[in-house]
Chains A and B, each alone.
Chain A
Amino acid sequence: MLEQLLIFTRGGLILWELGKALKGSPIDSLIRSCLLEERSADAAFHYDAPAGGAAYTLKWAFDNDLGLVFVAVYQRILHLLYVDDLLAAARREFSRIYDPKRTSYDDFDEIFRQLQKEAEARAEEMRKSKQAGRAPAVAPGKKQAPGSTVRGSGKQRSGSSGGSGKDDSDGDSGKGRSLANGSLNGQENGNKENSRAPNALIKGKENGAPEVGAFDVNKLHKLRSKGGKKTDNGVGGSVGGSVGGGKAAKAGPKKIVKKNRVWDDSPSESKLDFTDPSGERGEGPTEVVAADQGESMMDKEEIVSSDSEDEEDEEVEHEKPGTKKKGWFSSMIQSISGNAVLEKSDLQPALKALKDRLMTKNVAEEIAEKLCESVATSLEGKKLGSFTRVSSTVQTAMEEALLRILTPKRSIDILRDVHAAKEQGRPYVVVFVGVNGVGKSTNLAKVAYWLLQHQINVMLAACDTFRSGAVEQLRTHARRLQIPIFEKGYEKDPAIVAKEAILEAKRNNSDVVLVDTAGRMQDNEPLMRALSKLINLNNPDLVLFVGEALVGNDAVDQLTKFDQKLADLSAVPNARLIDGILLTKFDTIDDKVGAALSMVYVSGAPVMFVGCGQSYTDLKKLNVKSIVKTLLK
């Protein structure tokens, strides 16, 4: 049974409500984490009320013309098939009686009750007809029942419940349902369980079909995790093997010492090993001049050129002649008079052109798809303003959506946070995580340089105890910046090193501790576990994911896996996830800035820094407006 059905305006006023009060605040969290995050094309939203409340599923529908939102809330364990139908019917009926001046709609109660009865009756009918169709197919079904259970339960793990009650004539669904027991209760449970399976199967089969719409990102990463689990055992084994092999080589006695080959021309090199900084080189730390390369670009104002946007006239030509139902003249008249109601078929060509444009700017494919779907949902049914074309409406909507996604939802004022931590008497800890080779150590040094310019005491912690040269690299940076560094050499547990570093920072009154970690692939289970242990043990103030701007579709995978592993492998219920993103190698991409959008969309974390070069001053803030302009150019 439906817990609640709400109708409210986009401005926030509740127009009509049916049902009792809900535990927690599912509607607010739906708006905040789904509709405002441009995920409005998702099928459903799951909400867990905090402190042991109930688990709800929410479904919604928009009436874009009147600016209304219809939300249905029900318990997650129920799988009501008629909710989508009900929402569509409610939207139809309500838009008839809607009046912008009215604020109470008590007469809608009756209409709604009737709609609900009709929808339930329809759902019952459909279920009965499916049961009747299933009866002759019971015999062959029994053999394949175990196979389909595995498939069914496997697909059940993947994301949203279908709930559309589509009548699929596959034999598979019939076989799936034949698992139900003879008793009526068992049958109902079986139906409910398996109603998910065929809908998920539909999703799997109709991947290319336009009705299913966006490629389900949840499904994508769950599938990848299934495949990933098989491979990372192998990867983890090989990593472990190589480390073990390395240790064995060091422990074993050196039998034959290799002699240096001396060539005729070159002078003999007596010393080839430069890893020891002090002593032979003769350079003490006091002799190195502190690196002063001027003002970090973080503090420089970026001049945004305000060139006028040129209208893209090419999109009108993309319209296939087959899809044009109205003639050119009537569509012209309609665009002038402004009474055309936007249909999905109208939006498709413009959206496809936009999606292609986004993809040429290096936005991940599924992100571009989801965004376009979300914009389509928000524009469907809206009346075109006068003298506007479909393409310009879509463009403005997409621009607003992009601005909304890239605007950070929490303050990215690190200096303020550092001061707050200083007042509390503890150091502010930042952990840099990411895959191999993205530029963690380099950008860590840049951030340290910037902080130093604002009179903040920084300390580095070398928790990359795996890669050769990592500790020396940080040591060099620390020497050039003249800041203390805490290191314990190689082959130590990074979590312990970090813990001791923080204690040391407290002792010598450092304001900020920057923790460098080893790069790791997102599929590598043991390394991700080690990272999770580091984060949980030390509870840093900021977990910064370092990602390079060159990455394409892999950004989505990296961030989802990192977030997922951090959430799964932590002992506490409120796990620490990625708090911010540091985008590196921004100078290597000209205008293919899509990685920023993919990363922000997938993780919800704001981009706090942008690395744009290899010297200390090459650190910038993300200019949202210029990125949006570049993406849509």
Chain B
Amino acid sequence: MEQWLQQLQKWIHEVEEWVHQQPVEQLSAAFAVLIITFALFGFFRILRRSKSNTIVLAGLTGSGKTVLYYQLRDGSPHQGTVTSMEPNDDTFVLHSELEKKGKLNPVHSVDVPGHSRLRPKLDEFLPHAAGVIFVVDSLDFLPNCRAAAEYLYDILTKAIVVKRRIPILILCNKADKVTAHSKEFIRKQLEKEIDKLRTSRSAISTADLTSEFTLGVPGETFAFSHCLNKVSVAEASGLTGEISQVEQFIRELVKP
């Protein structure tokens, strides 16, 4: 130990002497360059972190994400959609806001395919997400309830979502149909399913690489209010254009 300390002191001494020997201008120039690079580095890092104004549309296949995406962008779903094979990614001003005067803030939104084989694509977009809209088919809800709850559970337990407290909007799509379920019913069903999932998933959580956090308060039945990030429920209809609640959510997140 003593020897190391002595060596260290000798080195420090040598460095000091060397520094004193250099001309002052060189030293100051080198110092300035160092400071500038660090400043730029830090600046870019901060810029990148705050650049999370992406809205991610996720949900099971067939729930209406692509229709919703085009409603937001163009105001109409055009001639219809088929199962997406790739994500739809674009930055645009919301269609309903085009008529507004004043500064228009473009929104970067991504529509991730819902097919289970394309699930990994969601992980590419979540790091930049400012908010997630989880689209649920309220017409055909009960047969897909388990799959929807599993997907939602996966999203809620991802590390990024928990750490950044990304707000999630559960959107009950196709609400214009007569036999569509109400958002309260869907919320309760999802809470029940996620509660069951908690017990079965936490049993194998050490092997399940995606679920890195456990949800809710252990011992109590799960409710969305237990989540650290804000989870809200809303109704919409992609085909008819009733998407006011969605737009409100987006406007809150993407501040002008």
Pair B82/A12 contact, Cβ less than 8 Å? yes
- Roughly how many angstroms separate A12 CA and B67 CA in the complex, as a whole number? 9
**CB 8 Å contact bits of B193-221 with A (1 = contact, 0 = none):** 00011011101101101000000000000
Pair A404/B150 contact, Cβ less than 8 Å? no
- Residues in B whose Cβ lies below 8 Å from that of A419: 196, 199-200
Among B79, B116, B206, which residue has its beta carbon within 8 angstroms of that of A408?
A: B116
A residues 8-36 in Cβ contact with B at 8 Å = 8, 10-17, 27-28, 31-32, 35-36
- Residues in B whose Cβ lies below 8 Å from that of A32: 61, 83, 115
Known contacts A10-B85, A413-B200, A419-B200; decide if A17 and B79 are in contact (CB<8 Å).
yes
- Residues in A whose Cβ lies below 8 Å from that of B146: 411, 416, 420
- Residues in A whose Cβ lies below 8 Å from that of B127: none
- Roughly how many angstroms separate A409 CA and B119 CA in the complex, as a whole number? 9
Pair B79/A11 contact, Cβ less than 8 Å? no
* B10 nearest CB across to chain A (Å): 39
* A135 nearest CB across to chain B (Å): 47
Among B80, B85, B88, B150, which residue has its beta carbon within 8 angstroms of that of A36?
A: B85
Pair B116/A410 contact, Cβ less than 8 Å? yes
Among A14, A103, A413, which residue has its beta carbon within 8 angstroms of that of B82?
A: A14
* A322 nearest CB across to chain B (Å): 36
Q: Name B66's closest neighbour in chain A (CB-CB).
A: A12
Pair A407/B120 contact, Cβ less than 8 Å? yes
Pair A13/B200 contact, Cβ less than 8 Å? no
| Stretch among A121-129, A166-174, A294-302, A460-468 lining the B interface | A294-302
* B142 nearest CB across to chain A (Å): 14
- Roughly how many angstroms separate A67 CA and B89 CA in the complex, as a whole number? 13
* B71 nearest CB across to chain A (Å): 12
- Residues in A whose Cβ lies below 8 Å from that of B150: 411, 413, 416
Known contacts A14-B78, A32-B115, A410-B116; decide if A415 and B200 are in contact (CB<8 Å).
yes
Pair A31/B83 contact, Cβ less than 8 Å? yes
- Roughly how many angstroms separate A403 CA and B78 CA in the complex, as a whole number? 32
Pair A404/B117 contact, Cβ less than 8 Å? yes
A residues 265-310 in Cβ contact with B at 8 Å = 298-302
Is B235 part of the binding interface, using a Cβ–Cβ cutoff of 8 Å? no
- Roughly how many angstroms separate A405 CA and B82 CA in the complex, as a whole number? 21
Pair B203/A415 contact, Cβ less than 8 Å? yes
Is B74 part of the binding interface, using a Cβ–Cβ cutoff of 8 Å? yes
Known contacts A298-B204, A300-B207, A415-B200; decide if A104 and B78 are in contact (CB<8 Å).
yes
Is B147 part of the binding interface, using a Cβ–Cβ cutoff of 8 Å? yes
Known contacts A13-B70, A14-B80; decide if A35 and B85 are in contact (CB<8 Å).
yes
Pair B84/A403 contact, Cβ less than 8 Å? no
* B81 nearest CB across to chain A (Å): 5
- Roughly how many angstroms separate A413 CA and B211 CA in the complex, as a whole number? 13
Is B137 part of the binding interface, using a Cβ–Cβ cutoff of 8 Å? no
Q: Name B204's closest neighbour in chain A (CB-CB).
A: A299
- Residues in B whose Cβ lies below 8 Å from that of A415: 200, 203-204
Pair B117/A36 contact, Cβ less than 8 Å? yes
**CB 8 Å contact bits of B100-115 with A (1 = contact, 0 = none):** 0000000000010101
- Residues in B whose Cβ lies below 8 Å from that of A454: 203-204
- Roughly how many angstroms separate A13 CA and B88 CA in the complex, as a whole number? 9
- Interface residues, chain A, CB within 8 Å of chain B? 6, 8, 10-17, 27-28, 31-32, 35-37, 67, 69, 103-104, 298-302, 403-405, 407-411, 413, 415-416, 419-420, 454, 621
A13-B81, A299-B204, A413-B150 known; 17 new pairs, CB 8 Å cut-off, are A11-B86, A11-B111, A12-B81, A12-B88, A15-B79, A16-B79, A28-B82, A31-B83, A32-B115, A36-B85, A67-B86, A103-B78, A299-B207, A301-B207, A405-B117, A407-B116, A410-B116
